[in-house]
Amino acid sequence: MKPVNDHVKENLDILFVGFNPSIRSSEMGHHFANPNNRFWKILFEAGLTPRKFNASEDHQLLELGMGITNIVDRPTKAADEITKDEYKEGKESLRKKIVKLKPKIVCFVGKGVYQEYSGIKKVDWGRQREAVVPGTIDFVAPSSSGLVRMKLDEMVEIYRQLKEIR
Protein backbone atom coordinates (compact mmCIF):
# COMPACT_ATOMS: atom_id res chain seq x y z
CA MET A 1 0.00 0.00 0.00
CA LYS A 2 1.21 3.46 -0.82
CA PRO A 3 0.81 6.42 1.56
CA VAL A 4 -1.45 9.33 0.62
CA ASN A 5 0.30 12.68 0.29
CA ASP A 6 -0.50 15.44 2.76
CA HIS A 7 -2.12 18.58 1.40
CA VAL A 8 -0.66 21.21 3.70
CA LYS A 9 0.95 24.63 3.72
CA GLU A 10 1.81 27.24 6.33
CA ASN A 11 -0.84 29.34 8.09
CA LEU A 12 -3.91 27.32 7.11
CA ASP A 13 -7.21 28.26 8.69
CA ILE A 14 -8.02 24.58 9.32
CA LEU A 15 -5.82 21.49 9.23
CA PHE A 16 -7.88 18.28 9.25
CA VAL A 17 -6.18 15.30 10.89
CA GLY A 18 -7.46 11.77 10.28
CA PHE A 19 -6.35 8.45 11.77
CA ASN A 20 -4.67 7.12 8.63
CA PRO A 21 -5.53 6.46 4.99
CA SER A 22 -8.00 3.73 4.17
CA ILE A 23 -7.11 1.01 1.65
CA ARG A 24 -9.35 2.79 -0.88
CA SER A 25 -7.59 6.12 -0.24
CA SER A 26 -4.23 4.41 -0.80
CA GLU A 27 -5.44 2.87 -4.06
CA MET A 28 -6.88 6.19 -5.29
CA GLY A 29 -4.10 8.41 -3.87
CA HIS A 30 -6.62 10.76 -2.23
CA HIS A 31 -7.93 11.43 1.28
CA PHE A 32 -11.35 10.18 2.39
CA ALA A 33 -11.80 8.27 -0.89
CA ASN A 34 -14.00 5.45 0.43
CA PRO A 35 -17.48 6.05 -1.04
CA ASN A 36 -18.98 5.29 2.41
CA ASN A 37 -16.97 8.09 4.02
CA ARG A 38 -19.04 11.25 4.54
CA PHE A 39 -16.19 13.75 4.93
CA TRP A 40 -16.80 15.67 1.70
CA LYS A 41 -20.57 15.77 2.22
CA ILE A 42 -20.13 17.02 5.80
CA LEU A 43 -17.74 19.81 4.76
CA PHE A 44 -20.22 21.04 2.17
CA GLU A 45 -23.29 20.81 4.40
CA ALA A 46 -21.41 22.57 7.23
CA GLY A 47 -20.67 25.48 4.88
CA LEU A 48 -16.91 24.91 4.80
CA THR A 49 -16.78 24.28 1.04
CA PRO A 50 -18.84 25.97 -1.69
CA ARG A 51 -19.86 22.59 -3.14
CA LYS A 52 -19.42 18.90 -2.42
CA PHE A 53 -15.89 18.01 -3.48
CA ASN A 54 -14.85 14.58 -4.71
CA ALA A 55 -11.90 12.88 -3.02
CA SER A 56 -9.89 13.42 -6.23
CA GLU A 57 -10.16 17.18 -5.56
CA ASP A 58 -8.70 16.96 -2.04
CA HIS A 59 -5.76 19.21 -2.99
CA GLN A 60 -8.21 22.03 -3.79
CA LEU A 61 -8.92 22.48 -0.09
CA LEU A 62 -5.62 24.38 0.05
CA GLU A 63 -7.20 27.14 -2.06
CA LEU A 64 -9.87 27.47 0.65
CA GLY A 65 -7.32 27.74 3.48
CA MET A 66 -7.72 24.13 4.60
CA GLY A 67 -5.44 21.10 4.50
CA ILE A 68 -5.38 17.39 5.31
CA THR A 69 -2.92 15.07 7.03
CA ASN A 70 -3.07 11.95 9.23
CA ILE A 71 -1.57 10.93 12.54
CA VAL A 72 -0.30 7.70 10.90
CA ASP A 73 0.73 7.39 7.25
CA ARG A 74 0.32 3.62 6.79
CA PRO A 75 -2.96 2.67 5.08
CA THR A 76 -5.08 0.05 6.86
CA LYS A 77 -8.53 -1.46 6.52
CA ALA A 78 -9.48 -0.14 9.97
CA ALA A 79 -7.95 2.21 12.55
CA ASP A 80 -7.71 -0.61 15.10
CA GLU A 81 -4.85 -2.05 13.01
CA ILE A 82 -2.59 0.89 13.92
CA THR A 83 0.11 -0.12 16.42
CA LYS A 84 1.10 1.73 19.61
CA ASP A 85 4.52 2.41 18.10
CA GLU A 86 2.93 3.92 14.97
CA TYR A 87 0.80 6.20 17.15
CA LYS A 88 3.81 7.21 19.23
CA GLU A 89 5.85 8.06 16.13
CA GLY A 90 2.85 9.70 14.43
CA LYS A 91 2.07 11.84 17.47
CA GLU A 92 5.55 13.35 17.49
CA SER A 93 5.60 13.83 13.71
CA LEU A 94 2.19 15.54 13.81
CA ARG A 95 3.23 17.84 16.64
CA LYS A 96 6.31 18.93 14.65
CA LYS A 97 4.15 19.47 11.56
CA ILE A 98 1.72 21.67 13.51
CA VAL A 99 4.56 23.71 15.04
CA LYS A 100 6.05 24.27 11.57
CA LEU A 101 2.82 24.95 9.66
CA LYS A 102 1.07 27.07 12.34
CA PRO A 103 -2.55 26.37 11.37
CA LYS A 104 -5.19 28.43 13.16
CA ILE A 105 -7.36 25.37 13.91
CA VAL A 106 -6.35 21.71 14.05
CA CYS A 107 -9.49 19.64 13.51
CA PHE A 108 -9.15 16.03 14.61
CA VAL A 109 -11.52 13.86 12.56
CA GLY A 110 -12.50 11.45 15.34
CA LYS A 111 -12.19 11.48 19.13
CA GLY A 112 -9.75 8.59 18.96
CA VAL A 113 -7.32 10.60 16.84
CA TYR A 114 -7.27 13.38 19.42
CA GLN A 115 -7.03 10.95 22.34
CA GLU A 116 -3.97 9.32 20.76
CA TYR A 117 -2.41 12.70 19.97
CA SER A 118 -3.13 14.51 23.23
CA GLY A 119 -3.08 11.62 25.69
CA ILE A 120 -6.37 12.96 27.11
CA LYS A 121 -8.97 10.24 27.52
CA LYS A 122 -12.10 12.29 28.36
CA VAL A 123 -12.78 14.44 25.31
CA ASP A 124 -15.87 16.40 24.29
CA TRP A 125 -16.82 17.45 20.77
CA GLY A 126 -15.73 20.85 19.55
CA ARG A 127 -13.11 23.32 20.69
CA GLN A 128 -10.81 22.01 23.41
CA ARG A 129 -9.90 24.15 26.41
CA GLU A 130 -6.21 24.01 25.71
CA ALA A 131 -4.25 23.14 22.57
CA VAL A 132 -1.33 20.71 22.60
CA VAL A 133 0.64 23.21 20.49
CA PRO A 134 0.28 26.75 21.90
CA GLY A 135 -1.03 29.30 19.41
CA THR A 136 -3.41 26.87 17.71
CA ILE A 137 -6.96 25.75 18.48
CA ASP A 138 -7.59 22.02 18.93
CA PHE A 139 -11.04 21.00 17.70
CA VAL A 140 -12.49 17.49 17.94
CA ALA A 141 -15.07 16.43 15.35
CA PRO A 142 -16.71 13.06 14.74
CA SER A 143 -15.06 10.61 12.41
CA SER A 144 -16.71 10.80 8.99
CA SER A 145 -16.38 7.05 8.47
CA GLY A 146 -19.48 5.23 7.32
CA LEU A 147 -18.99 2.95 10.33
CA VAL A 148 -19.86 5.79 12.72
CA ARG A 149 -23.47 5.56 13.86
CA MET A 150 -23.99 9.27 14.59
CA LYS A 151 -26.63 10.94 12.44
CA LEU A 152 -25.28 13.08 9.62
CA ASP A 153 -27.17 16.17 10.84
CA GLU A 154 -25.52 15.90 14.26
CA MET A 155 -22.09 15.60 12.65
CA VAL A 156 -22.72 18.59 10.40
CA GLU A 157 -23.72 20.71 13.43
CA ILE A 158 -20.40 19.97 15.10
CA TYR A 159 -18.40 20.73 11.95
CA ARG A 160 -20.40 23.95 11.49
CA GLN A 161 -18.72 25.26 14.65
CA LEU A 162 -15.46 25.32 12.67
CA LYS A 163 -16.93 27.91 10.34
CA GLU A 164 -17.88 30.07 13.33
CA ILE A 165 -14.43 29.80 14.95
CA ARG A 166 -12.68 30.45 11.65
pLDDT of residue 162: 97
53-104 pLDDT, tens per residue?
999 999 999 999 999 999 999 998 888 899 999 999 999 999 999 999 999 9
CA 75 – CA 63 distance, rounded (Å)? 26
Which amino acid is it at 123? V
pLDDT of residue 88: 95
Q: What is the CATH number of the domain that holds 75?
A: 3.40.470.10
Q: Does 98 fall in a domain? A: yes
CA 140 – CA 146 distance, rounded (Å)? 18
Burial class of residue 133 in the structure, from the number of CB atoms within 10 Å of its CB (0-12 exposed, 13-18 middle, 19+ buried): middle
Contact 8, 68 (CB under 8 A): yes
Q: Does 66 fall in a domain? A: yes
> What is the count of structural domains for the chain?
1
Q: Does 75 fall in a domain? A: yes
Percentage of the chain exceeding pLDDT 90: 91
120-135 pLDDT, tens per residue?
999 999 999 999 999 9
- Domain around 101: 14-165
Residue 149 pLDDT exceeds 90: no
Which amino acid is it at 133? V
Q: Does 73 fall in a domain? A: yes
* Average pLDDT, rounded, for the chain: 95
